[in-house]
Amino acid sequence: MPDPVAAPGAQTRPEVVVFVAGTGTEVGKTWAAAELARVLRDRGCVVAACKPVQSHDPDEAGPTDAAALAAATGQHPDDVCPPEHTYPVPLAPPMAADKLGRICPTVDELATICRFGSTVGIGLVEGVGGLYSPVAPDGHNLDLIERIEPDLVIVVAPAGLGGIHDSMACASPLAAYRHAVFLNRFDPRIEVHSLNLRWLRDAGLAVATSLPELADIVGTDPVGRPRGGD
């Protein structure tokens, strides 16, 4: 499989750019993005990830978001998120950078990082927190989405109580973009999960409850045709 890391001067826009957002923090956004990358790679897609900026709690065990994404795509963590854009403070990146006495990139600067190697077919860009979580001193995830203009925005949402509100609250600001909801930790045996799924689909949202189903959405164009087909 081709190396997803771009050589200098070989960066371009892939056929599909997917922005992975969350309805908030701790909804499993990084896990979903990493596992989606694995499913897509198993299907023969060349996938690379970009986490343009990240913050984390250095006292918590486990990999950073960039390291988790890199393990799924075969990249080096530093190619997923530049080390200078990693802040070991559990605050939103611009706040974490300020606390450390460092400069956090602007939204425009972050957008320039969201580039991929010329062999990459699907580029995954993971934001931080929810749509309105600060990603830079001059903007939030929605501002970054507007700069990148992704082909698809995936919103990772809770499957249980609150999932309808959280999902619908993200639908309006994303009206200009093709978007889909991934109900994380969905269990069809739990009544509220099934009822939430039905309600959201009846409201006209594209909703996936499994990673293969989510990969199917990534692999089709806006009218439902397989990408690369006639």
Lowest-confidence range among 31-35, 66-70, 200-204, 223-227? 223-227
pLDDT digits (tens, 9 = 90+) for 168-184: 999 999 999 999 999 99
Catalytic site includes residue 51? yes
Catalytic hit among 19, 33, 50, 51: 51
**Residue 45 backbone zone (phi > 0: left; psi -120 to 50: alpha; other: beta):** beta
Task: Look at residue 75 in the predicted model and tell me its pLDDT.
Answer: 96
Closest CA to 158 of 186, 189, 198: 186
Rg (CA), the chain: 17
Q: What is the mean pLDDT of residues 66-86?
A: 97
pLDDT at 224 over 80: no
pLDDT at 229 over 70: no
Task: Look at residue 149 in the predicted model and tell me its pLDDT.
Answer: 96
pLDDT digits (tens, 9 = 90+) for 82-123: 999 999 999 999 999 999 999 999 999 999 999 898 899 999
Average pLDDT, the chain: 91
Tokens of 163: 């999932």
Q: Measured between alpha carbons, how far is 51 from 78 in angstroms, rounded to an integer?
A: 10
Residue 186 in 3-state DSSP? Answer: coil
Q: Measured between alpha carbons, how far is 142 from 150 in angstroms, rounded to an integer?
A: 11
* Cα angle: 78, vertex 116, 12; to 5 degrees: 150
Burial 106-121 (b: 16+ CB within 10 A, else e): bbebbbeebbbbebbb
